[in-house]
Amino acid sequence: MHMTAQPTAYRVFSDLRWPLKTGIGNVQTELLARAPGHITIVDAEVQGSIGSPLSPWAISRALQQQKTGDGVFWSAGFVPPATHHLPAVVTVHDLTHLHFYSRLHKAYYNLLLRPLYRRCGAIVCVSDYTRREFLAWSGMPSAKVHVVYNGVSSIYAENQQTYDLPYRYVLYPGNHRSYKNLARLVAAYAQSSLPREDIHLVMTGQPDPALLAQAESLGIAPQLHFLGRVADADLPRIYKGAILVAFVSLYEGFGLPLVEAMASGVPVLTSSVSAMPEVAADAALIIDPYSIEAIAGGLDTLTQNEALRADLIGKGQQQVVRFSWDQSAHSVWSIVDDVYRHG
C-alpha cells in the first residue's frame, strides 16, 4: 500500500499581540484555529505596543530570547522582524499609510518597512489589488507575493434574526477613519429620498461630533444613529435588519463588510476604487465614491428597485462562497510550509 509522506513537523513563531476585536485580530484567530497538525504555533511573546515604530526591533528581540532554532516567523499582521535568521511571512492588508496618513507614516513605510519586506520569505496580500500595488511599491519578486482572500464567518449566513431598532435603516459598518468617506455618505443620504421615506442611517462606533454637526446642518440629525461598541453576537443581526449596506470607502485592501453583508442576504452599495470592485464583482451596486450625487442615486436605487435588490442578493450568495476561512487557512499554511522548506 502506498503511504503518503507526512509533512515535516516544525515551529512557527508568531507575534500574537493583535487585539481580538480588530480586523487583523480576527484573521489571526481564524487562521490559528485551522493550523495543520505538523505546525506548532509558538507565541513569540513580543513586548510593547504593536503600533510602536519600534515593533520590528521588539519582534527581533523576542525571537532572540526564544532561542528559536529553525522554523518560520509568521504574522497575520504587517510588521516583520527587523533582523533574524528565521524566514518571515507577513500579511499586507493594504497600503493606507502611504495614502491617508501623515508624512511620517509614509516615510516609515518607505525607509524602514519596504527594505524589511524585501527580506521576507513571502508576503501574503488579501486581494489582487493589494498585491499589484504592493509589487509596484516594494519591488519584490512577484513569486514571493501571494494573494489569499479573507474569509467570512459562517455566523452571518446562519443568522436569521434582526436587530431590534424601531425604524428602517441603511447600515454603515466600520470605523470612522477619514478614507471611509462618511461625510460624503451623510451628505448623499440627506440629498436622497431616504429621509423623506423615514429610512434612517445607522453607523457602528461611537458618535462622531463632526458627522453629528454635519447632520444637524443638513436637517437629518434625528435620523443619524451611532450604535457604539457592538457585541460580536449582535453584528450579524444588525446586518440582517438593514435595508442595504452602504460601504462607499475611498480605499480598501479588501473590505470585509462587503462579504459580511452578502452572507447576511443584504444588498450592497460600494465604491468603484481599490479592491472593492474585485471583492464585490457583480454582486453589488458600484458607484463613484467621490460623487455625492452618485452615492445618493445608489441609495435611492437600492431602496426602490426590488428587482435589482433581489438580483444582487442572489449574486451575493454566490459571490460569498469564494471567501472561506478554510480555504484561506489552507493557502496561508501552504505558503508557510513552502517558506520553511525553501528558506
Span 25-46, pLDDT tens digits = 989 999 999 999 999 999 999 9
CA distance 121 to 242: 43
> At residue 335, does pLDDT exceed 90?
yes
Ramachandran class of 217: left when φ > 0, alpha when ψ lies in -120 to 50, beta otherwise? alpha
Q: Are residues 337 and 239 in the same domain?
A: no
**Confidence label for 231 from pLDDT (cuts 50, 70 and 90):** confident
Q: Are residues 177 and 61 in the same domain?
A: no
Q: Are residues 165 and 303 in the same domain?
A: yes
Q: How far apart are the first and last CA of the chain?
A: 33
**Confidence label for 20 from pLDDT (cuts 50, 70 and 90):** confident
Q: Are residues 289 and 330 in the same domain?
A: no
Query: pTM to 2 decimals?
Result: 0.93
- Domain assignment of residue 272, yes or no: yes
Q: Are residues 185 and 297 in the same domain?
A: yes
> At residue 73, does pLDDT exceed 70?
yes
Q: Are residues 100 and 168 in the same domain?
A: no
> At residue 121, does pLDDT exceed 80?
yes
Strand segments (E) across 173-295: 199-203, 224-226, 244-247, 268-271, 285-287
The per-residue pLDDT for 232 is 84
Q: Are residues 172 and 115 in the same domain?
A: no
CA distance 69 to 166: 59
Ramachandran class of 71: left when φ > 0, alpha when ψ lies in -120 to 50, beta otherwise? left
DSSP 14: E
- Domain assignment of residue 130, yes or no: yes
DSSP 109: I
In three-state form (DSSP H/G/I as H, E/B as E, the rest C), the secondary structure along 305-321 is: CHHHHHHHHHHHHHHHH
Residue whose grid cell is 498585491: 131
Average model confidence (pLDDT) for the chain? Answer: 95
Q: Which residues of 142-173 are buried (b: 16+ CB within 10 A; e: fewer)?
A: eebbbebbbbbbeebbebeeebebeeebbbbb
Q: Are residues 143 and 204 in the same domain?
A: no
Q: Are residues 64 and 169 in the same domain?
A: no
* Phi, psi values for residue 7, rounded to 5°: -60, 150
CA distance 95 to 109: 9
- Domain assignment of residue 4, yes or no: no
Q: Are residues 298 and 236 in the same domain?
A: yes
**Confidence label for 242 from pLDDT (cuts 50, 70 and 90):** very high
Q: Are residues 107 and 161 in the same domain?
A: no
Q: Region 138-155: what's the mean pLDDT?
A: 96
Q: Which of 36, 44, 102, 111 is nearest to 72 (CA)?
A: 44
β-sheet bridge partners, residue 200:
169
Q: Print the domain residue range for 216.
A: 155-322
> At residue 309, does pLDDT exceed 90?
yes
- Domain assignment of residue 1, yes or no: no
The per-residue pLDDT for 28 is 95
Summarize pLDDT for 197-217 with one digit per residue, the tens: 999 999 999 999 999 999 999
**Confidence label for 313 from pLDDT (cuts 50, 70 and 90):** very high
Q: Which residues of 116-140 are buried (b: 16+ CB within 10 A; e: fewer)?
A: bbeebbbbbbbbebbbebbbeebeb
Q: Are residues 106 and 125 in the same domain?
A: yes
Domain count, the chain: 2
CA distance 336 to 341: 9
The CATH number linked to 26 is 3.40.50.2000
- Domain assignment of residue 2, yes or no: no
CA distance 151 to 148: 9
- Domain assignment of residue 241, yes or no: yes
